[in-house]
Amino acid sequence: MTFNRAPVASLPVSPAPEKSAGRYRIRITDLVLPASIGIYDRERQAPQRVRINVELEVAEHGRPLGDDIANVLSYEDIVSGIRAIIGRGHINLVETLADEIAAMCLDDDRVALARIGVDKLDVEPDAAAVGIEIERSR
C-alpha cells in the first residue's frame, strides 16, 4: 500500500537566542557614618550621624564570574567612595550627598541604576530619622 503525501513545508527555524547578560543588585544597608552636613549653624558645629542606603542595579558581563572579585562590582569600593565624599568636607544638603554618591556609583559603566537614601538620625527628636531617597540611571 502506498500513500501519496504532499511535501511537508519546513517551519522557519528561529536562531538560538544569544546568551544575554543579566543584572544583579548590590545593596548597602544602614551604613551609619559621621558627616558634616546641614544648613544651620548648629549643624556646622560638629558632625552628625547619617544613615546611607544604596541599591545598585548592575549589568553582568555575560561571562562566567569564576568566583573572582575582579568580575563584579565591589561593595567595599562603594563604601570607600562614600567615605571619601563625606571626608571632603561640609555638605549643606542631604540631596547633594545622595546625588554625589549616585554619580560616583554611575561612574562605573556596569551600573545601570542607583537608588540612594540619606537620613539624618539626630535632627528631629520625634522621628527616628529624616531624609530623602533619589534614583538616578544612565
pLDDT-wise least confident of 59-68, 81-90, 122-131: 59-68
Q: Which of 40, 52, 27 has the alpha carbon at shortest distance from 120?
A: 52
Query: What's the CATH fold of domain 23-137?
Result: GTP Cyclohydrolase I, domain 2 (3.30.1130)
State the Cα–Cα distance between residues 94 and 131, nearest whole angstrom. Answer: 7
pLDDT-wise least confident of 8-12, 36-40, 57-61, 83-87: 8-12
The pLDDT, as a whole number, for residue 8 is 47
pLDDT digit string (tens) for 10-56?
445 545 444 556 889 999 999 999 999 999 999 999 999 999 999 99
Q: What single-letter DSSP state applies at residue 98?
A: H
Which residues on adjacent β-strands are paired with residue 34? 49
State the Cα–Cα distance between residues 24 and 5, nearest whole angstrom. Answer: 53
Q: Which of 75, 32, 27 has the alpha carbon at shortest distance from 52?
A: 32
Chain centroid to CA 2: how far? 69
Q: What single-letter DSSP state applies at residue 108?
A: S
Record the cell numbers describing residue 4, joined without a space: 501519496
The pLDDT, as a whole number, for residue 69 is 80
State the Cα–Cα distance between residues 70 and 95, nearest whole angstrom. Answer: 31
Cβ atoms within 10 Å of 95's Cβ, excluding its own: 14
pLDDT band at 1 (very low <50, low <70, confident <90, very high): low
Cβ atoms within 10 Å of 102's Cβ, excluding its own: 21
pLDDT digit string (tens) for 95-136?
999 999 999 999 999 999 999 999 999 999 999 999 999 999
pTM comes to 0.82
The pLDDT, as a whole number, for residue 17 is 44
